[in-house]
Amino acid sequence: MGLIGTLVKAGIAKKAYDVARKPENQRKVKAMLANARGKKNGPR
């Protein structure tokens, strides 16, 4: 199970990397990160 799990995680990471390389997706990721950071550092 350990080897299969590692291979699945590697496949998911590769897919995420390939998608993140596209310029239109880079804008979406940056906006999502900025939104997440804003919520994290927002008022308490």
Ramachandran region of residue 22, left (φ > 0), alpha (ψ -120 to 50) or beta?
A: beta
pTM of the model: 0.47
19 Cβ contact list (under 8 Å, min separation 6): 25
| pLDDT tens, per residue, the chain with 44 residues | 689 999 999 998 998 888 888 888 888 888 888 888 887 665 55
Half-sphere exposure of 4 (CA within 13 A, CB side): 1
